[in-house]
């Protein structure tokens, strides 16, 4: 029994999964044209406060708009993020908020995989009876392990133009993908796609790592 639990906690990928991910790992993500954003928001039927926030623009809101236009885990995460993020950030010091935003609102492998995995980690945590707010908080804190184009780590590197660091994965539970699949991936709008199913499975493993669960 112990061996089975240990294997469930460890990174595991089959040869077929590795090939599929490496072959299809990046779906082009289109940013909505500015003149269409308000119309997109109107169709989403979210609260006035959420509408105002989404309409303010910025990379985080473009990611949220994309997720809100989908179904299931992605939409659920985006709605919970909008509901709780202001309260969460208000209780953090400015440096911590700045670090998180420099990861999730930037470019790089960790930024990409944050938005790929966060919705499914959120669902995994809520199934483990973590409240929605606490799940969002833990996911945001998880992002701090990342490196992006905009972090001070890169700016203070020996070569500021060397993008090798933010082209690799540093987020807890995801580093292995650099070796196994050549990096991260984005998800299509089809929730039945293989990469959605694989990400959902792996997100459960990552959620347990973040929570420090041993079984």
Give the C-alpha separation, 137 to 155, whole Å. Answer: 26
> What is the span of the domain harbouring residue 27?
2-211
Tell me what pLDDT residue 167 has: 74
| Burial (CB count within 10 angstroms: exposed 0-12, middle 13-18, buried 19+), residue 116 | buried
Q: How many domains does the chain have?
A: 1
Tell me what pLDDT residue 28 has: 56
For the chain, residues with pLDDT lower than 50 are: 1-8, 152, 154, 157-163
- For the chain, the DSSP string reads -HHHHHHHHS----HHHHHHHHHH--PPPPPPPHHHHHHHHHHHT--HHHHHHHHT--HHHHHHHHHHTS-THHHHHHHHHHHHHHHHHHTS-HHHHHHHHHHHTS-SHHHHHHHHHHHHHHHHHHHTT--HHHHHHHHHHHGGG---TTSHHHHTSS-TT--TTTTS--STTTTTHHHHHSS-----S-TTSHHHHHHHHHHHHHHHHHHT---
Tell me what pLDDT residue 172 has: 93
Q: What is the pLDDT of residues 67-126, one digit of tens each?
A: 888 889 999 999 999 999 999 999 999 999 999 998 999 888 899 999 999 999 999 999
Tell me what pLDDT residue 51 has: 73
pTM, entire model: 0.81
């Amino acid at each position: 029994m112990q061996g089975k639990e240990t294997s469930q906690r460890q990174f595991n990928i089959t040869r077929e999964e590795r090939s599929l991910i490496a072959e299809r790992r990046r779906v082009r993500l289109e940013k909505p044209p500015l003149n269409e954003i308000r119309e997109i928001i109107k169709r989403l039927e979210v609260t006035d406060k959420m509408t105002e926030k989404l309409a303010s623009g910025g990379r985080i809101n473009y990611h949220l708009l994309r997720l809100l236009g989908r179904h299931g885990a992605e939409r659920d995460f985006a709605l919970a993020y909008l509901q709780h993020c202001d309260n969460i950030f208000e209780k953090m010091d400015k440096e911590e908020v700045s670090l998180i935003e420099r990861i999730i609102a930037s470019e790089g492998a960790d930024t990409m995989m944050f938005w790929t995995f966060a919705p499914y980690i959120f669902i995994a945590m809520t199934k483990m009876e973590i409240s929605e707010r606490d799940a969002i908080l833990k996911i945001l804190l998880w992002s701090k392990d990342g490196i992006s184009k905009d972090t001070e780590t890169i700016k203070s590197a020996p070569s500021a133009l060397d993008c090798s660091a933010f082209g690799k994965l540093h987020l807890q539970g995801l580093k292995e993908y650099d070796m196994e699949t050549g990096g991260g991936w984005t998800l299509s709008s089809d929730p039945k796609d293989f990469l959605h199913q694989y990400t959902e499975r792996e997100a459960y493993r990552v959620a347990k790592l973040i929570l420090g669960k041993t079984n």
